[in-house]
Structure 1
């Protein structure tokens, strides 16, 4: 999928009908489950997180598959009920210091089974889709034992009191963007309290592009302070503490340009905020959330075009989504490596593939004695240099760096070579 930039089984098979049948048999096998595929996501991520401050970034995306009333493919409703598809909730590990994508950790993929008749407020958290914010973070915890620090980070949907309480129990930090004007322990409102805090600094930050929003520089005012968040008055939350000591960082854009919606983030966090630098650090960490948006774009519109898949059943589509998620992360890691990221090579390649890369590197360097791979051989950047060369890039620093198509061509060639390399010691009778 990474090499072909597609999840279409027919295209991946390149006209080989037998191979297409084998792909379909794999997806249809009872012992191949989406849950087990998701469990394997973190196999290569565990070593990459060691000793780092890891931002465990999670979000949910709706994946729309075309259906008709006569052919729903077993898919439930998404959006406002006018489309059918699958929901994907992954958790990405990102280095807090340099923003490098370390890999997938945990997640969920599902399709809805009918509409719920019980109202949202009348259901326990375990009976709501929002429980995924907590269960996904807890599932990732065993994979993060070697990390120096873990901060679970999410957008407005992750503004859940039970998640803040869980972070204290599980010994990880949390940063969530406020969705609700919550009550504090003194019965005042969160927004009233933050608006009353003094402006302590002003700074400009660069905002990456989003859907319907070009990249721009935003001039922000900063407020921050300690808060005591009160437990919501729900009978399902009475087992949780009556209040939680947290902090809030409020950044509000001033003088936004015409037609631009001013940025306003109220970030609730379990990190202690004692200085202005501490508060800006929370803002910088939250900015890293854009990586998961890039992940979804690679998965759908700008890369693998997952939503174009014509697989006929929901069960197989769920497995395909879980596999494609891993392919999307590898693509992001290679693009980051091209730009000088310092991810370890094993986040994307196994030992056999690394040995094949080393042999190819020696061959490429021998062709031009003045042109050497300048990167350490245990880095993904080293591998990206080789794959870029295999795809047609000349390797000179003055040349335009390899793009996605060059990486695609290089990966196609490399995977064929790696398959042959794995057979090099076999003795045929």
Structure 2
């Protein structure tokens, strides 16, 4: 991690987008200015985030420029993400889809969502994290709007299921660029497709895959997949803390674990050997639905430790949900007032990098609390955090990352009692906005 952290800078935007190449130096500069504005005020709309009407007009002109592609905007971040991946022996490439609802807005190119009357787009990123849950960045993405159904009720356009297999293919291609790391493609139930597993086998499985099982498949001898896996005694147990989510309080979970190597058969491409893992909660609190996960993977898991490792990797999938939370509720991307889906895609490319950065700060504040805060914040931002919280800044040393992050989070509503633990992404993104306004004020006063 030391080598990767050495590349961090308080001027992170300039560093993250150093290799920006949109075909025009002025566009490159404008892209950096826009993302700096988005990062400084992640909860603000575009007019408020921009520094005056001139910058606002320039930002809208940039986002409406057909010569700029969202892929071109994200390309330097993708490259930086690959560099960070190279520093870790195992990298989990989390895949999932979220919908962005722009219903009621006059945006050209939107499509139906889960109901035909709801209008918006879909975003499907590949989000790279370490097994220790350090976010490394977005390493791939799809964005699309569904086509309307025709008179016969048939929807044209691309087959959306293909994004899961194609997602694995992109991870497999990336594996050649990170030879020192083992990449693991991780997906929820929608990724449970034999076609994906067969494609991985045909490619020689350059990257591992781990998906949550959706189908209790029939086996050749008449058994069912899940029943066969649980036929014997459990290998052992795992205990972990399930974080609070969707209004459900944090609680301890104890699961019994089973694993079995099984051949799945499907047509001409042939059989695929998989490991099926089942983790079933025991002694769940009364009135609570027991937590049960059924996982499929190409990896062998002959021991309890191997199975626990797979469970831990799957639990890391929650980090992409956190990423979506920052993107939608922190950066408020569904409130963007842009005229076309292409403009929305360009803005989303920038906001995805901002959302990663906020999640990255939160995780490093927990796992590497004693890092020098100046690696991530400018002197004015650090000074502003201490001023706004009326806290005395140390004069004999540089504050640590955790110290400054907790001050930032206090400005976002974090109370900081012993029972509160470490701050989450929501209080950090709210506090960052206050700190950066304070830093801008300090700089303006200095210039005067």
Say yes or no: TM over 0.5: yes
Q: 1:23 to 1:327 in 2, by over 3 A?
A: same
Partners of 1:387 and 1:407 within 8 A in 2: no
Q: 1:93 to 1:414 in 2, by over 3 A?
A: farther
Partners of 1:65 and 1:307 within 8 A in 2: yes
Matches within 5 A, 1:40-55: 40-52=76-88, 53-55=90-92
Q: 1:411 to 1:337 in 2, by over 3 A?
A: farther
The answer for the alignment partner of 1:210 in structure 2 is: 245
Q: 1:291 to 1:390 in 2, by over 3 A?
A: closer
The answer for the alignment partner of 2:168 in structure 1 is: 137
Task: Tell me the secondary structure at the aligned position of residue 179 of structure 1.
Answer: coil
The answer for the alignment partner of 1:155 in structure 2 is: 188
Matches within 5 A, 1:354-393: 357=378, 371-373=396-398, 381=401, 385=404
Match of residue 66, structure 2, among 15, 26, 30 = 30
Partners of 2:101 and 2:120 within 8 A in 1: yes
Deviations 1:171-191 (Å, cap 9, x if unpaired)? 110110001112335453212
Partners of 2:100 and 2:123 within 8 A in 1: yes
| Structure 1 position 101 matched with structure 2 position 135 | yes
Q: 1:388 to 1:260 in 2, by over 3 A?
A: same
Matches within 5 A, 1:324-343: 324-341=351-368
- 5+ residue gaps, structure 2, are 1-37, 387-391
Task: Tell me the secondary structure at the aligned position of residue 300 of structure 1.
Answer: helix
Matches within 5 A, 1:293-304: 293-301=321-329, 303-304=330-331
Q: How many Å apart are 1:418 and its aligned residue?
A: 10
Q: How many Å apart are 1:66 and its aligned residue?
A: 2.5
Task: Tell me the secondary structure at the aligned position of residue 11 of structure 1.
Answer: helix
Q: How many Å apart are 1:74 and its aligned residue?
A: 2.6
Deviations 1:252-292 (Å, cap 9, x if unpaired)? 11232233222111110111101011111111111111110
The answer for the alignment partner of 1:13 in structure 2 is: 50
Q: How many Å apart are 1:10 and its aligned residue?
A: 1.2
Task: Tell me the secondary structure at the aligned position of residue 39 of structure 2.
Answer: coil
Q: How many Å apart are 1:389 and its aligned residue?
A: 7.9
The answer for the alignment partner of 1:60 in structure 2 is: 97
Task: Tell me the secondary structure at the aligned position of residue 129 of structure 1.
Answer: coil
Partners of 1:38 and 1:108 within 8 A in 2: no
Within 1, Cα distance between the matches of 2:442 and 2:219? 61
Q: How many Å apart are 1:91 and its aligned residue?
A: 0.8
Q: 1:81 to 1:414 in 2, by over 3 A?
A: same
Task: Tell me the secondary structure at the aligned position of residue 40 of structure 2.
Answer: coil
Partners of 2:263 and 2:274 within 8 A in 1: yes
Q: How many Å apart are 1:390 and its aligned residue?
A: 13
Task: Tell me the secondary structure at the aligned position of residue 240 of structure 2.
Answer: strand
The answer for the alignment partner of 1:252 in structure 2 is: 280
| Structure 1 position 166 matched with structure 2 position 166 | no
| Cα RMSD, aligned residues only | 3.9
Partners of 1:151 and 1:173 within 8 A in 2: yes
- 5+ residue gaps, structure 1, are 376-380, 420-429
Matches within 5 A, 1:226-305: 226-231=261-266, 238=268, 240=269, 242-301=270-329, 303-305=330-332
Q: How many Å apart are 1:161 and its aligned residue?
A: 1.4
Within 1, Cα distance between the matches of 2:110 and 2:385? 48
Within 2, Cα distance between the matches of 1:371 and 1:172? 48
Partners of 1:175 and 1:270 within 8 A in 2: yes
Task: Tell me the secondary structure at the aligned position of residue 217 of structure 2.
Answer: coil
The answer for the alignment partner of 2:344 in structure 1 is: 317
Partners of 1:173 and 1:271 within 8 A in 2: yes
Q: 1:187 to 1:32 in 2, by over 3 A?
A: farther
Deviations 1:279-321 (Å, cap 9, x if unpaired)? 11111111111110111111112x1111112222222112222
The answer for the alignment partner of 1:189 in structure 2 is: 224
Within 2, Cα distance between the matches of 1:413 and 1:64? 33
Task: Tell me the secondary structure at the aligned position of residue 2 of structure 1.
Answer: helix
Number of residues paired by the alignment? 390
The answer for the alignment partner of 1:425 in structure 2 is: none
Partners of 1:391 and 1:411 within 8 A in 2: no
More deviation in 133-142 or 258-267?
133-142
Within 1, Cα distance between the matches of 2:167 and 2:290? 31
TM-score normalized by the length of structure 2: 0.75
Within 2, Cα distance between the matches of 1:219 and 1:7? 42
Within 2, Cα distance between the matches of 1:305 and 1:363? 25
Partners of 2:212 and 2:294 within 8 A in 1: yes
The answer for the alignment partner of 2:18 in structure 1 is: none
Within 1, Cα distance between the matches of 2:315 and 2:409? 34
